[in-house]
Amino acid sequence: MPILGRRLAAITAALAMSVTTGALVSPASAHSGSSDETKKMPTATGYGGAVSTVDEDASAAAIEVLRKGGNAIDAAVAAAATLGVTEPYSAGIGGGGYFVYYDAKSKKVHTIDGRETAPAAMPTDAFIDPVTGKPYNFTPELVTSGVSVGVPGTPATWERALKRWGSMSLAETLEPAIDVAEDGFKVDATFKLQTDENKVRFEAFPSTSELYLPGGKAPEVGSVLKNRDLADTYRLLANKGTDAFYTGPLAEDIVEAVQNPPKSAKTELPVPAGSMTTKDLAKYRALEQKPTHVNYRGYDVYGMAPSSSGGTTVGEALNILETFDLPALKDDKAKVLHHYLEASALAFADRAKYLGDPAFVDVPVKELLDPVFGKERACEIDPLKAAVKPVPAGDVADYNGACDVEPAALSDEKDTENINTTNLTVSDKWGNVVEYTLTIEQTGGSGIVVPGRGFILNNELTDFSTVFSETDPNRIQPGKRPRSSMSPTIVLKDDEPFLALGSPGGSTIITTVLQTLVNRIDFDMSIEKALAAPRATQRNTANVTAEQAFIDSPYGQELGSRYGHTFAAAGAAGTSAAEIGAATAIEFLDDNKVRAVAEPVRRGGGSAMVVKPSH
């Protein structure tokens, strides 16, 4: 068995009760490795390649691939596949995501859009209850359904990335994840909390409750959870490629679970059925496309173009902030953060008005990322007080950078994208870099584990607007990709990597990435402090949603008393929603040294590793 050093696999973990079989896990089957790898650390500095994820199993999988001579692409797929085992409520082959890659040889940034798509037969009123004629309740009815399941894009993303830029086969990159799924991983407090939060939804499906609610309850912290069905599914893909996912018996099983959700006779949830077909799966393609790009204070910031709104919204906000000399104001933290919050609201107003799938909507990417447009939008910021929200969207058809324009009509952002996603950052010894954000949407996705296959299906289609409108760029349309906020970002300085970062968090992904960039570049924080700092998110709403530590801080208090911002605490204490984001990053230092950074606290802390540590 490969030396992976997963999940603090000491002898005590080996003796933990297996929650899937009711049998003790023998010491031989538990993961073991060097003490350097088994200790979950949020920061690692060194050489030869690096990785940052939310999970030590996933990080160890990437490091193993890098040590075997694989490149950043190979390692990213290995980490992502392992996250499908250990973070199944955030990611997996039942979902999709966005992949950003810096190629050291060409010094170019490439991206893959692996977003899920709506089935060809999806009606525009799919989210309207046919009995009542009113929209389904978002929670729990719509999120726990077949109708919310989009055609998954994750397997196609892996295949396309490996074929274009990888050096290993899909089978080789899946080996670590198969080991973890077969041998089990140690349940932590975050996993148990998320399971408890989804207990009612998971109970609706025997295939889900048998796996994640053994004995009718969430697995205990410290127990070992196995997923041998997923191990078998990964073996199928390793042997036959991703065609085995998009065609054949597995595709038929996915369609059956969507069209006839395998729900329990005891559940009171309606679980509306979806319309996905095997033809929808067979037709799916992951798309290569140009990245978004803006220059911010001498740094080239590359992100994800639509169907994601991440690159355009982060980029527009940076263009707005570029107008102000924030580094000169860094000692006045409240003033800088006031500008950050106001710029974010303006960019979100434009996001709501203009952003959708470019195959269906004419998205004015060039205009939204024009520095002249950003300069004109900056005119809307009052340096002394917060604007009343929602603020108006800008007019991309008529701007000149001057501060005398009349804004367009109000556009209120009503975003339902959920908080749970995952992100990973990988680099290799050749200087290649991958930033990859992937998701199944809701914490726990649709709640539906495909029977016998071991993975949860997404509920990404809830990112479409609930009520159809011909003027809404994010309206439901067959074959369309719903608007996303995922914002994998790579920052270059003089064509060389400076920083790569991303985060989960639904629409707060955009503000998490933006605030981290402001922290690192404008406040000149270390990347560790920039990522760990308390967060606030302004998405063109009446209140600023913020972590309690941000609200309680001196600058948080000053933002209220001095500038008039009002705050609402993120989530509720003791829930996974009380935090904003769970970012990962790698900063590139002198002499080929790298610093990988993960969350020190959020979601129980992340895992950063390097191939060759430098103490």
Q: What tens digit of pLDDT does each residue of 76-114 get?
A: 999 999 999 999 999 999 999 999 999 999 999 999 999
Say which of 111, 190, 313, 421 is annotated catalytic. Answer: 421
Strand partners, 499: 491, 587
Q: Length of the chain in residues, anyone? A: 615
User: Quick one: average pLDDT of 263-280?
Assistant: 95
Comparing C-alpha atoms, which of 310, 319, 542 is closest to residue 413? 542
Backbone angles phi, psi at 555, to 5 degrees: -70, -30
Residue in the structure block whose two tokens are 């290995």: 78
Comparing C-alpha atoms, which of 103, 128, 270 is closest to residue 201? 270
Classify residue 9 as exposed, middle or buried by CB count within 10 Å of its CB (0-12, 13-18, 19+).
Answer: buried
242 is catalytic: no
User: Taking the model in full, what pTM does it have?
Assistant: 0.92
- The pLDDT > 70 percentage for the chain reads 90
Neighbours of 510 (CB within 10 A): 30
Q: Given pLDDT bands bounded at 50, 70 and 90, which one contains residue 574? A: low
Listed in sequence order, the residues at least 6 apart from 155 whose beta carbon sits closer than 8 Å to its beta carbon are 93, 237, 242, 245, 246
The pLDDT assigned to 190 comes to: 92
Strand partners, 469: none
**For residue 23, is pLDDT > 80?**
no
| Greater model confidence, 351 or 413 | 351
Q: What does the DSSP 8-state code read for residue 518?
A: I
**For residue 21, is pLDDT > 90?**
no
The pLDDT assigned to 612 comes to: 96
Comparing C-alpha atoms, which of 422, 423, 431 is closest to residue 72? 431
Q: Given pLDDT bands bounded at 50, 70 and 90, which one contains residue 22? A: very low
Per DSSP, the three-state class of 348 is helix
Compute the half-sphere exposure of residue 500: CA atoms within 13 Å on the CB side of its CA.
32
List the 544-546 sheet strands across, edge first: 536-537, 544-546, 567-569
**For residue 573, is pLDDT > 70?**
no
Q: What tens digit of pLDDT does each residue of 592-601 get?
A: 999 999 999 9
d(CA 552, CA 534): 10
The pLDDT assigned to 38 comes to: 52
Comparing C-alpha atoms, which of 275, 321, 280, 277 is closest to residue 299? 321
**For residue 256, is pLDDT > 80?**
yes
Q: Given pLDDT bands bounded at 50, 70 and 90, which one contains residue 404? A: low
The pLDDT assigned to 104 comes to: 98
Mean pLDDT for the chain overall: 91
The pLDDT assigned to 576 comes to: 64
d(CA 501, CA 381): 27
AA letter at 1: M
**For residue 407, is pLDDT > 90?**
no
b/e burial code for range 163-172 (CB count within 10 A of at least 16 → b): eebbbbebeb
Q: What tens digit of pLDDT does each residue of 321-344 get?
A: 999 999 999 999 999 999 999 999
**For residue 1, is pLDDT > 50?**
no
**For residue 133, is pLDDT > 70?**
yes
User: Quick one: average pLDDT of 404-426?
Assistant: 58
Comparing C-alpha atoms, which of 257, 252, 247, 277 is closest to residue 146? 257
The pLDDT assigned to 216 comes to: 95
Q: Given pLDDT bands bounded at 50, 70 and 90, which one contains residue 575? A: low
Q: Given pLDDT bands bounded at 50, 70 and 90, which one contains residue 137? A: confident
The pLDDT assigned to 577 comes to: 74
d(CA 330, CA 522): 7
Opening angle at CA 229, ends 224 and 231, nearest 5:
75
User: Quick one: average pLDDT of 219-239?
Assistant: 97
Q: Given pLDDT bands bounded at 50, 70 and 90, which one contains residue 141? A: confident
Listed in sequence order, the residues at least 6 apart from 243 whose beta carbon sits closer than 8 Å to its beta carbon are none
d(CA 422, CA 599): 12
The pLDDT assigned to 34 comes to: 33
The pLDDT assigned to 12 comes to: 26
Strand partners, 296: 299
The pLDDT assigned to 33 comes to: 33
Q: Given pLDDT bands bounded at 50, 70 and 90, which one contains residue 260? A: very high
Comparing C-alpha atoms, which of 178, 297, 176 is closest to residue 230? 178
Mapping DSSP onto H, E and C, the string for 271-336 reads CCCCCCCHHHHHHCCCEEECCEEEEECCEEEEECCCCECHHHHHHHHHHHHHCCCHHHHCCCHHHH
Opening angle at CA 487, ends 412 and 41, nearest 5:
125
Q: What tens digit of pLDDT does each residue of 345-367 get?
A: 999 999 999 999 999 999 999 99
Decide if 586 contacts 594 (C-beta within 8 A): yes
The pLDDT assigned to 527 comes to: 98
User: Quick one: average pLDDT of 223-232?
Assistant: 98
**For residue 302, is pLDDT > 90?**
yes
Listed in sequence order, the residues at least 6 apart from 391 whose beta carbon sits closer than 8 Å to its beta carbon are 345, 346, 349, 380, 407, 410, 540
Per DSSP, the three-state class of 127 is coil
